[in-house]
């Protein structure tokens, strides 16, 4: 038999997992914001070595956005099938 403290701890863990997953759904759009900022920086500094780094970081941010989006959809589909 579990005590009240143990059951409360398990419920709080379950709540944290759900809230973290919901938070990550909104946080994925931050990558698009950063991609936009890096593209803006690349355009402003075009012709300097810094512009190529900004373009690389913008591409990486866009890649991470789509990767995380696909992973979250996979995770949601896995939970829906249970």
pLDDT digit string (tens) for 44-82? 988 877 788 999 999 999 999 999 888 877 777 776 665
Beta carbons within 10 angstroms of residue 61's beta carbon: 19
Give the residue from 78, 82, 37 showing the smallest Cα distance to 58: 37
27: exposed, middle or buried (C-beta count within 10 Å: 0-12, 13-18, 19+)? exposed
Query: Using one digit for the tens of pLDDT, what is the confidence trace for 5-53?
Result: 555 555 555 555 556 666 667 788 899 999 999 999 999 988 877 788 9
Domain locations along the chain: 4-80
Look at residue 15 in the predicted model and tell me its pLDDT: 56
Residue found under tokens 């950063």: 34
């Amino acid at each position: 038999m579990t005590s009240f403290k143990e059951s409360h701890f398990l419920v709080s863990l379950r709540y944290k997992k759900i809230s973290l997953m919901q938070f990550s759904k909104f946080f994925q759009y931050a990558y698009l914001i950063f991609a936009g900022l890096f593209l803006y920086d690349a355009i402003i500094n075009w012709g300097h070595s810094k512009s190529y780094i900004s373009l690389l970081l913008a591409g990486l941010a866009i890649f991470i956005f789509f990767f995380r989006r696909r992973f979250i959809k996979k995770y949601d589909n896995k939970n829906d099938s249970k």
